[in-house]
Structure 1
Amino acid sequence: MLGALLVAATAAYAGFQWTIRLVVYPQFATVPREAFVRYEARHQGLVSIAVGPLFVLDGAACIAAFVHGPRWPSAAAGACLAVILLLTAFGAVPQHRALSSGFDAAVHRRLLLVDSLRLGLALGAVGAAVWFAAG
């Protein structure tokens, strides 16, 4: 049961991250310049509502799995989430703040790089969750 919860939580976040990286962020470059500041503000508000519960669910599942054991796979999933949270706070958020005043291609490229790292870590967390569930 706990293994299924961890897999579901990590997969839900990974699916979200996949969508953001492959669909949402690439579209930033297509938003008309005069509409971008408003678009970015709306994006920030809505994405926070969407990702917040996923972070909470994923974190709670990682903690519960770690307490229950086996610890190595749950620790790996938790470490992936911790790095994702750090990349979000110190990588993505500053790029979004910079984009708040208007689209900048260099800032957008940095956001895409940070997001690619988050996607890789999210997929790694799914792998660790599957390892936990199989153990």
Structure 2
Amino acid sequence: MGPMLLTVVHLVLVAAYAGFQWTVRVLVYPQFAGVGPGFAAYERAHQRRVTRVVGPLFVGQGVTTLWLLVLVLRGEAPAGPVVVGAACLAVVLGVTALGAVPLHRVLDAGWDAAAHRRLLRVDSVRVAAASAGVLAAAWLVLG
């Protein structure tokens, strides 16, 4: 895959993830509060289903980001947008692992309004980082 095609594939993956993350933040997570009885089962089903979507997007972004970082080291890609994009992905992955996943574990036990509020705040960070990642990927393609 040539560098231009790689940058376009990267942009598509980053934009798909950002769209996914915006949907989760604006639509999916706010609906948690209205589930009522049976929330724990709902939460576990949510986790199983969402992993099927987000897992491939994380893997795809990870592969293209690493590939782009190699190209930067070889002098074949501009460092600025690649490093900014890699930092955005690192924030998303770190906030997911250290914030969202533990909060989902709390919600596994049943509805917890405080955990839900924290999840919304954590997810807002992911939305911001994912959106910035799209800008970095677009900068890379258009730069």
TM range (shorter): over 0.9
From 46, 54, 58, the counterpart of 1:55: 58
**Could you list the runs of 5+ residues in structure 1 that have no partner in the other structure?**
none
Q: CA deviation at 1:83?
A: 1.1
Identity over aligned pairs, percent = 51
TM-score, normalised relative to structure 2: 0.90
What is the distance in 2 between the residues matched to 1:9 and 1:46? 19
Q: Give the whole-Å Cα distance in 1 for the aligned partners of 2:49 and 2:19.
A: 17
Q: Which runs of 5+ in 2 are unaligned?
A: 72-76
CA deviation after TM superposition for structure 1 residue 3, in Å: 2.0
Aligned equivalent of 2:106, options 98, 103, 114: 98
Residue matched to 2:9? 5
Look up the match of 1:30.
34
Provide, for residues 5-55 of structure 1, a one-character-per-residue CA deviation record: whole Å limited to 9, x for no partner: 1210110100110111011100000101x2101000101111111110000
* Residues in 2 aligned to 1:31 and 1:82: alpha-carbon distance in whole angstroms: 32
Q: What's the Cα RMSD here?
A: 0.9
Using the TM superposition, give the Cα deviation of residue 67 of structure 1 relative to its aligned residue in structure 2, in angstroms.
Answer: 2.3
How far apart are the structure 1 equivalents of 2:124 and 2:98?
A: 15
2:80 and 2:30 map into 1 onto residues whose CA distance is 35
Counterpart for residue 73 of structure 1: 81
